């Protein structure tokens, strides 16, 4: 992975997306590794998951927990780093639950893609592919699926590299 540039990784739940992102980042030449976590712990089980992920990364990572203002954080980090954002679908869910309308969410997705592409550091964005299953039965789930698909398309089209992960196996899309 080169000094700058945006890499997008997408796949199903527990597919190996995060492991692939961390592997790419660990092989990067940057001395500073930054992990932007978008998850929020609303219960004990999620707190345990977040701590397990933190331990998996190890001590050589700076972790920033930010559920909403990811673009601002990426813009503030400057050059010479490798930045992993995990995960974009949780970020999108946070936006939806903050009661933003679809037009505002689409603006924020575009701003995030721009921040990733404009960053002087290497950026790796991780997202879930949620559109391979059944059509959800309720309006909120369909809205989330539709916005996720739009976000993933926008991220993939703007990325220098895009990967699809299935069963722990990476498939390079571009």
Segment (H or E) for 156: helix 139-158
What residue has token string 């700058």?
A: 4
- Active-site positions read 53
Contacts 24+ apart (CB under 8 A), 132-136: 132/12
Dist CA 15 CA 33 (whole Å)? 23
Other Cβ atoms closer than 10 A to 41: 13
Q: What is the chain's length? A: 174
| pLDDT tens per residue across all 174 residues of the chain | 444 699 999 999 999 999 999 999 999 988 799 999 998 877 888 888 878 878 788 788 999 999 999 999 999 999 999 999 999 999 999 999 999 999 999 999 999 999 999 999 999 999 999 999 889 999 999 999 999 999 999 999 999 999 999 999 999 999
In order of their start, the domains of the chain are 5-172 (3.40.50.300)
pLDDT at 1: 44
Q: Which run of H or of E encompasses 6? A: strand 5-11
* The pLDDT of residue 4: 63
pLDDT at 2: 47
Q: Residue 42: what pLDDT?
A: 79
Please tell me the distance from the alpha carbon of residue 42 to that of residue 22, in angstroms, as a whole number. Answer: 25
Cα 76 to Cα 7, 36, 111: the distances in Å are 19, 12, 14
Distance between alpha carbon 83 and the CA centroid of its chain, in Å?
10
Strand order, beta sheet including 122-128 = 61-65, 32-37, 81-86, 122-128, 5-11, 161-166, 169-172
């Amino acid at each position: 992975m080169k000094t700058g540039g945006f890499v997008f990784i997408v796949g199903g739940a527990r597919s190996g997306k995060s492991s692939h992102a961390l592997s790419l980042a660990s092989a990067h030449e940057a001395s500073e590794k930054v992990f932007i976590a978008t998850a929020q712990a609303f219960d004990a089980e999620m707190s345990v998951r977040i701590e397990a992920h933190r331990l998996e990364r190890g001590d050589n990572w700076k972790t920033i927990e930010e559920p909403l203002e990811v673009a601002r954080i990426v813009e503030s980090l400057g050059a010479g780093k490798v930045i992993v954002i995990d995960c974009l679908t949780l970020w999108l869910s946070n936006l939806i639950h903050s009661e933003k309308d679809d037009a505002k969410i689409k603006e924020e997705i575009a701003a995030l893609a721009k921040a990733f592409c404009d960053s002087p550091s290497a950026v790796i964005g991780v997202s879930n592919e949620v559109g391979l299953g059944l059509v959800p039965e309720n309006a909120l789930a369909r809205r989330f699926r539709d916005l996720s698909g739009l976000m993933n398309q926008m991220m993939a089209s703007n990325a220098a590299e895009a990967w699809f992960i299935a069963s722990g196996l990476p498939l390079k899309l571009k």
